[in-house]
């Protein structure tokens, strides 16, 4: 991030600020001044603030979904069994490992996703669904084979529940860590939480379907 070009400096800074304070609460002036570029640079390079937001997501999600697709290929090629642990484990290791040099990056990613989903009108949510829905669907098919007794419709919702648990928790980690510290006098890391998340999600996804 030291001496990159203007475009990357903007993206790097915007990514952090958006994750920290949300889209509406982050002004272009805050971004450009912290990035050390001119105010007009955003509109020049991206066209608008909204296009900047999309660019931030694109830079994040495109490599991620590509890596996820590759991992699924590998899984199919080696004949790794479709268990909830295996499938979810891939996603988690990927989310935490895409940028090993910066462990905070994973938290930023989830916090951004949280911001995207609570966005007015579900605007960005739809964008994500249309651009990265394919890999997502493939992931869900593997999960379906892992828990064949759960009807597809039911599984769809359980995946949404899981997404909620992950995104919500990691996007609010800052406050939660403070509460945890106060109540239990214990520090927790992002990796800690994902380790706790896995059994919770597996338990929920393969729970018995009522009636």
Partner DNA sequence: GTATGTTTGAAACGTATGTTTTGAACACAG
Partner DNA sequence: CTGTGTTCAAAACATACGTTTCAAACATAC
Interface with DNA by CB under 7 A: which range of 48-56, 109-117, 118-126, 194-202? 48-56
* Smallest distance, a copy of itself to C-beta of residue 96, A: 17
In the chain, helix, strand, coil percent, each to 5?
A: 75, 0, 25
Closest separation between CB of residue 27 and a copy of itself, Å?
A: 11
Minimum Å distance from CB 50 to a copy of itself? 13
Largest CA distance in the chain: 62
Q: How far apart are CA 84 and CA 81, in angstroms?
A: 10
Distances 95 to 89, 102, 103, 170, 183 between C-alpha atoms, Å: 10, 12, 10, 12, 28
Q: Binders of DNA: how many residues, by CB under 7 A?
A: 19
77 token code pair: 């090629």
Interaction between residue 27 and DNA (CB under 7 A) = yes
Query: Is 20 a residue that touches DNA (CB under 7 A)?
Result: no
Q: Which of residues 124-163 bind a copy of itself (CB under 8 A)?
A: 125-126, 129, 152-154, 156-158, 160-163
Contact between 50 and DNA (CB under 7 A)?
Answer: yes
Tokens 């990357």 belong to residue: 8
d(CA 112, CA 170): 10
**Member of 4, 20, 21, 40 binding DNA (CB under 7 A):** 40
Give the number of other Cβ atoms within 10 Å of residue 143's Cβ. Answer: 25
Question: Which residue's CB is nearer to a copy of itself, number 10 or number 166?
Answer: 166
Q: State the CB neighbour count (10 A cutoff) for residue 138.
A: 16
Note the residues at the interface with a copy of itself (CB under 8 A): 20-22, 24-25, 114-115, 117-122, 125-126, 129, 152-154, 156-158, 160-169, 171-172, 174-176, 179-180, 183-184, 186, 193, 195-210
Q: Which residues bind DNA (CB under 7 A)?
A: 5-6, 26-30, 37-45, 48-50
């Amino acid at each position: 991030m030291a001496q990159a070009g203007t475009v990357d400096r903007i993206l790097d800074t915007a990514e952090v600020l958006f994750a920290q304070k949300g889209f509406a609460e982050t002004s272009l002036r805050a971004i450009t001044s912290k990035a050390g570029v001119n105010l007009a640079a955003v509109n020049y390079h991206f066209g608008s603030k909204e296009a900047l937001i999309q660019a931030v997501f694109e830079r994040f999600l495109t490599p991620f979904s590509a890596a996820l697709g590759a991992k699924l290929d590998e899984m199919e090629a080696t004949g790794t069994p479709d268990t909830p642990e295996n499938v979810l484990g891939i996603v988690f290791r990927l989310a935490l490992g895409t940028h090993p040099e910066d462990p905070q990056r994973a938290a930023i990613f989830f916090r951004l996703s949280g911001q995207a989903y609570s966005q007015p009108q579900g605007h960005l949510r739809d964008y994500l669904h249309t651009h990265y829905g394919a890999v997502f669907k493939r992931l869900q098919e593997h999960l379906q084979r892992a828990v064949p007794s759960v009807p597809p419709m039911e599984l769809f919702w359980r995946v949404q529940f899981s997404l909620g648990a992950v995104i919500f928790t990691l996007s609010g980690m800052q406050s939660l860590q403070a509460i945890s510290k106060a109540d239990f006098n214990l520090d927790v890391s992002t990796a800690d939480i994902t380790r706790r998340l896995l059994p919770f999600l597996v338990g929920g996804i393969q729970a018995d379907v009522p009636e």
